[in-house]
Structure 1
């Protein structure tokens, strides 16, 4: 950022995310120098006034249901920044063009909460609030999400820490609980659409699993998966890339790919064949019932490893 024109563009379009970097005060000073009316003239006046207003009100977002702080940036997701708030995380979309995806997440989580089995609701985030936040001429959608588990790690992190592969006995409980999360959603009529390493969170000590980022979900008849995560394109089944109607078989195929990748060459042949059977090219030939698939997985694990027992896991 070296010109007044670039500074004006940034101020007028970034809104409340303008000061998210490591040096918010430095960002403010640089932008103020570039847009101050004494040096930038009339074209900088409106941007300078907006910059001053954003700086005064930085870190606070209000909805009809609550007041949230953006002081602590916890994560940068595919589409949104997540800020730590008392109820969990405020998820604020970076690009207003993705507002519809945030609305999808809210709709999916509401449907699961209304229709899902209460015993399994901790496997997905709880929607605390959903709202539109206006910064000048820019409107962004935000969701406030809570989970019941703490100390969560993504399966992307697990893969990085186990580059030679994850012991299949450890992958087993993750796979089982992921199937419970998917079974919960599918019974409510929701397809997740993005069962990717970054979106599956585990709590290692208590073997908790939470499936997050429902922005790519489909919950209406005939609805397509609206977008993909570009750097994970190879994880998506053919029907998603072809813009065809997804189904439970879509999520189950992605989950199997995820688990096979985690285990790498450590997976016994029978377990590898099981995963391959979930990923056949034709959706009609794949499993489409997460609960039934969970039973089949349990049978296979019993044959391979005997009766199920708790196996401590630490990263």
Structure 2
């Protein structure tokens, strides 16, 4: 059934101007229609918000304000906003209509893309986002569904403005807005602090998906995916597609760093890195064809923009070492009970009155001195040092009156060599003036030599690669006369090659010496089993039997067929015959030769003519080898005698 026929908006005219012709797509926030602007006679896309969201007055107000701002963002790779309005309960955006498909459609159809195609899509996306970031907008819901690819090859980014408005509304309730597969860690953990780097993270995830055909973090529920974004790095795409150049691994790692300060600060910076990586790749690297395995099944649910309750995310800890009003720190358990009241004689004066007054004065003076001490410059906070060079970090610490403590060095695949990975105490921590801050500086990625695992058993080879910090990659199997079955023939890259840790190594494993599969069709089962066993092959009997030209109990067919090659120890499946199918023979005596042959062949028999000397010029069937009405094996030969 065509669901568009049931859509109440199809065929209607919104705001007396936009005729809704067809429904294009349904998302988590709105439905998109193809419409005609009857005033300007042009086709456009009409995004109509779901009624549940449109009923929120604050949301609509902010949505309109954002739509007006984005409408001023003119960029060739941004889907333009023409108009915004309301018609009764409908709140809509009139936007540029792009005839073509989405990046999601491309990924569903093709799976992993060639590096050249992936970069050719990513660069205009980053150009569009870069223009938005420099204009003060953050998309916050970048995903393949929002990347449109026109029939003319142009790439455009859709849905600017809408997401930001929803985010501003939902943040106050502690919810997370977005699409779980592309959410950055800070969107999950600190949604109010999200900036342009959340779009950078999402683009890194999209690049990984374009290069591998699958998403880096998958799970059975949104909560599992959110947890992985918070606690697991995006793996290098070369671990899935061996042979991808390191420049692409580095680009994905930079864009998807879990710490926002380690990512490019906006899409413009990431675009510069992307173009640099693009320029360093050869034509062969750009045009390498990744394995065209089918991509993961997309139900659509995990790729819709949604408001995710905070309860689905990792529980938040209470803040520590932060300046908070005192009442924020108070709990029922901490409040002491009031002291018991003591009675006294009517009209009497307590002797303890002056003592209490003096104590109160001293307490006030003490508290004042404490406040003065705390706020008189005795404490400061550790400044932001991540991603700064060691020299810059030392200078910054000196500027705020702190000493540089112990400096240690560690390898890192994501942090540039010579820049700060972490500090102790952490950035933002409260610390006394003149105290020291220890810093850890990156040595850059660690490199190792690929061990020579040729001739090792597959399991042993994998363990040796992991022990060196490398990832066992794709396994292909080939025949070998020299290497036993299940042992490694070679690796790519080969042993002795220097690589960064985490790189994927493809393995070629032996299937053993090739064995010519003998033809056992028509043989008795015992003879067939003996012939195959002598050839070094195993035998499996199929569960079902079939009719065939062979007698019951003989081999009707085999898989693989004879003439092919198998490895020693491979299994050959045999299907046993039930015997030929018996069918009734038509009576053709007295028929012409042509009619008789036609009737017998249509019944499933082969026909042989016996004319003798007397039937050389005859045309009538005198008799047949199997009389009409009797049965004979299907496909057998019936001889007709002609006179």
TM-score in terms of structure 1 length: 0.67
Q: Equivalences for 1:135-146 in 2 at 5 Å?
A: 139-146=89-96
Distance 1:296 1:124 in 2: 21
| Contact 2:184-2:258 within 8 A present in 1 as well | yes
Equivalence for 2:278: 301
Distance 1:222 1:288 in 2: 25
Classify 1:205/1:21 alpha carbon distance in 2 versus 1 (closer, same or farther; 3 Å). closer
SS at match of 2:76: helix
Q: Equivalences for 1:1-315 in 2 at 5 Å?
A: 21-24=3-6, 59-63=11-15, 66-86=16-36, 87-98=43-54, 106-114=64-72, 116=73, 118=74, 121-134=75-88, 139-147=89-97, 150-163=98-111, 165-203=112-150, 205-206=152-153, 208-214=154-160, 215-217=162-164, 228-229=177-178, 232-242=179-189, 243-264=191-212, 265-266=240-241, 267-305=244-282
Q: Deviations over 1:197-249 (max 9, x none)?
A: 1111113653x1111123212699999698534xx413200111122321111
Distance 2:62 2:128 in 1: 18
Cα offset for 1:21?
Answer: 3.2
Classify 1:169/1:59 alpha carbon distance in 2 versus 1 (closer, same or farther; 3 Å). same
Q: Deviations over 1:108-135 (max 9, x none)?
A: 4532443x4x4xx22122222211221x
Which 5+ residue runs of structure 1 have no aligned equivalent? 1-19, 28-53, 310-315
Distance 2:117 2:79 in 1: 23
| Contact 1:168-1:263 within 8 A present in 2 as well | yes
Task: Give 1 or 2 for the bigger CA radius of gyration.
Answer: 2
Classify 1:102/1:299 alpha carbon distance in 2 versus 1 (closer, same or farther; 3 Å). farther
Cα offset for 1:71?
Answer: 3.6
Distance 2:169 2:86 in 1: 27
Classify 1:287/1:126 alpha carbon distance in 2 versus 1 (closer, same or farther; 3 Å). same
| Contact 1:249-1:283 within 8 A present in 2 as well | yes
More strand by share: 2
| Contact 2:18-2:35 within 8 A present in 1 as well | yes
Matched residue count: 246
Structure 1: 4+ residue segments shifted above 4 A: 98-106, 218-227
Classify 1:287/1:81 alpha carbon distance in 2 versus 1 (closer, same or farther; 3 Å). same
Moved more, 154-163 or 262-271: 262-271
Equivalence for 1:5: none
Distance 2:165 2:151 in 1: 29
SS at match of 1:299: helix
More helix by share: 1
